[in-house]
Amino acid sequence: MRIIIQELRKEFKILLAYPIEIAFWIISPILWVIPLIFQGKALIGGLQSSAFGNLAGTSEYIPYVLIGAIFSTYMFSAVWSMGNSLRNEMFYGTLEHILSAPVRPIYLLLGKGLYNSILSTVFVVAQILICIVIFGLSITLSKIVPMLFFLLLLLIGLYGVGFIAAALTLLVKEAHGLLHMFEYVLFLFSPIRYPVEVHPVTRAISVFIPLTYALIALRGILLGLKYDFWQTSLYLFALDCAIVPLGIVIFNLIEKKTKTRGTLAHY
């Protein structure tokens, strides 16, 4: 526990050294939605689409995309921050020190993961507040409890994704681009901007991504769309149970491999 707290303290100290990052992460997901609004207006000439309604259950595409953008913050934060966390330690020149400390590396990653979860929640809350003020989004207390429940289930699954991303960095070193690619793949196959039912391939692959179920539930709660609470939570929970152990196993295997080969400190 002390290790995780120290890791948290360190990460927050580094973040506060670059305060511009905080403002950026709060505003950017909302900015990413703006081109989609303009594109929608250019294509259909309004803010409602019947074709979109047939697929998504709501013809209003702006709230749909906005919710996708806000809650995808969690997933991209897991991929980016946890994936880059070990590479950053490499750049700082501290990777060998922390990995040779008498602690299991998975605890260090847990600390980094917890830091991401706290930070992402702060960003998401700020983004929701912006949406309440600008777009008139309404959130009642009765919506907050189920939202928190699904966010918790989402976060657990994303820890697994984060472990895999961190392992990838240890393996290929210059993982910045690969993480970007990973992010785009998740963008493509998750219902962030559009319902995955738009294409059979996106529909088939999306079932393996935790964000898919979380977004179905969160949109159901916030926009009043039809969804099955128990079924969605059960799918998400089952996915968590598979992804987290898989992430830990992959990370441990690759960490062992890099130590055996002596490539840990390689650039």
Partner 1 sequence: MKTLIHYLRAINAENIKEWRIEWKYKPDFFRQFVEPFVYLLPYFLYGVALLGGRFSEHLRSITGIGDMIAYTFIGYLIMGFLNTACWAMGASLRKEQWFGTLDTIFVAPVPRWVYVAGMAAHSTCHQGLIMFIQAIVITSVFAIVFKTTGIFFALLIVALMLLALYGLGVLVAGLTIGLKQWWVISEALSTLILVVTPIAYPLAVLPLIIRKISLFLPTTYGVIGVRHLLLGEHLDIGLGTIFLRLAVILIVWCVFGFGIFILMDRYGRKKGILSLY
Q: Does 18 bind partner 1 (CB under 8 A)?
A: yes
C-beta of 164 vs 175, nearer to partner 1: 175
Residue pair 249/242 in contact by the 8 Å Cβ criterion: no
| Minimum CB distance to partner 1, residue 171 (Å) | 9
Q: Does 200 bind partner 1 (CB under 8 A)?
A: no
Q: Does 199 bind partner 1 (CB under 8 A)?
A: yes
| Minimum CB distance to partner 1, residue 237 (Å) | 28
Q: Does 132 bind partner 1 (CB under 8 A)?
A: no
226 to each of 32, 56, 87, how far by Cα in Å?
Answer: 26, 10, 42
C-beta of 52 vs 123, nearer to partner 1: 52
Residue pair 219/62 in contact by the 8 Å Cβ criterion: no
| Minimum CB distance to partner 1, residue 152 (Å) | 27
Question: Of these, 103, 114, 126, 198, which contacts partner 1 (CB under 8 A)?
Answer: 198
| Minimum CB distance to partner 1, residue 186 (Å) | 10
C-beta of 83 vs 195, nearer to partner 1: 195
**Contact mark string toward partner 1, 34..73, x via CB under 8 A:** xxx-xxxxxxxx---xxxx-xxx----x------------
Q: Which of residues 81-110 bind partner 1 (CB under 8 A)?
A: 91-92
| Minimum CB distance to partner 1, residue 173 (Å) | 7
| Minimum CB distance to partner 1, residue 47 (Å) | 11
Which residues would be at the binding site for partner 1 (CB under 8 A)?
18, 20-21, 24, 28, 31-32, 34-36, 38-45, 49-52, 54-56, 61, 91-92, 172-178, 180-181, 184-185, 187-188, 192-195, 198-199, 202, 267
